[in-house]
Copies of this chain bind each other. A is one copy, B any other.
Amino acid sequence: MRIAVLCGGVGGARFLRGLREHLRAVGGSGDGGSHEITAIVNVGDDMWLTGLRITPDLDSIMYTLAGANDDIRGWGRRDESERVAGELAAYGAGWEWFTLGDLDLGTHIARSGLLREGLPLSAATDRITARWPLGVRLIPATDDEVETQVHVADRTMHLQEWWTRYRASIPALSFEYRNAPASSPAPGVLEAIASADVIVLAPSNPVVSIAPILAIPGIREAVLASPAPVIGVSPIIAGAVVRGMADACLSAIGVATTADAVALHYRARSAGGILDAWLVDEADAALLPAIEAGGITASAVPLRMSDLGLSAALARDVLAVAARL
């Protein structure tokens, strides 16, 4: 089975880890089995910082699938240290509010070196991820630099600044996926979507993880045209975000922080949107009729990926819904 997953960082990483686990349990995956998982990863969080290209979502997924992530903190590398960061601060380099761990910097430096040699991000990602047997192919949504910008009342800032420095506390008026109109999908993205047996929208932030992927010309069209069912997983449970600050993003685009509102925002493929089915948490079972009324097949299952078993069970539920469509 070929599964294409559109995703952001932490939520995407947990879902992918669960999907890999489930497929291994039922008979092989990227480790030589008969299943192929391709993650099409948001690059809107990416940025150049003191000469290094930082790709937070790609790294979160890689570290999580490699088992090298810091599960307690929720991001970055386990057993991390910050010796280099202390030097950068002493030189006045970087952003004091953006932590660059030593182990993480190894990834940034290796990747930036490859980019400086002229490799596109997708090829650099292939080289970087080759270090670990991930069992999932990671492809950046685009090789172009499409960075999400946040317009607030008096200025525009990079998503990282709004998110990490200000913790989304400054009201966002709108989001801009800068350079998206001129960008192209990275090699392999459209092929993965076109040849997929199932397409999944991971439970990632709809505004700053999934939307920047769909803003790249050709990707939304490929999802629309694919013969595969498209299953989305709600990042909202019981009117609250599971992690992150999606509420601050959703309110900026006029979407309520509820599982049904997000589904209806994505819209049914039959209505020109991108969803065939949508999974909400059991706590949101009352919302199923509203979602179905929008032409989207809806199911309520446990969505919290608190451990690997729950993540694998969610992946199983996603594939079960896909099989029934």
Contacts and interface: CB of A to CB of B under 8 A. Distances in A.
A289 interface: no
Nearest to A109: B50
A116 interface: yes
B84 A109 contact: yes
Contacts of A109: 50-52, 84, 88, 93, 105, 109
Interface in A69-85: 81, 83-85
A85 B110 CA distance: 10
A48 interface: yes
A183 interface: no
Interface in A7-35: none
B50 A110 contact: yes
A91 B107 contact: yes
Interface string A121-157: 0000001100100000000000000000000000000
Number of contact residues on A: which range applies?
A: 20 to 34
A103 interface: yes
A46 to B, nearest CB: 15
Contacts of A91: 106-107, 110, 127-128, 131
Interface string A160-177: 000000000000000000
**A91, A109, A117 — most chain B CB neighbours (10 Å):** A109
Given A50-B112, A51-B52, A91-B110, 16 more contacts: A48-B116, A50-B110, A51-B109, A51-B115, A51-B116, A81-B83, A84-B105, A87-B110, A92-B110, A92-B127, A92-B131, A93-B106, A93-B114, A94-B110, A102-B102, A109-B109
Interface of A: 48-52, 81, 83-88, 90-94, 102-103, 105-107, 109-110, 112-117, 127-128, 131
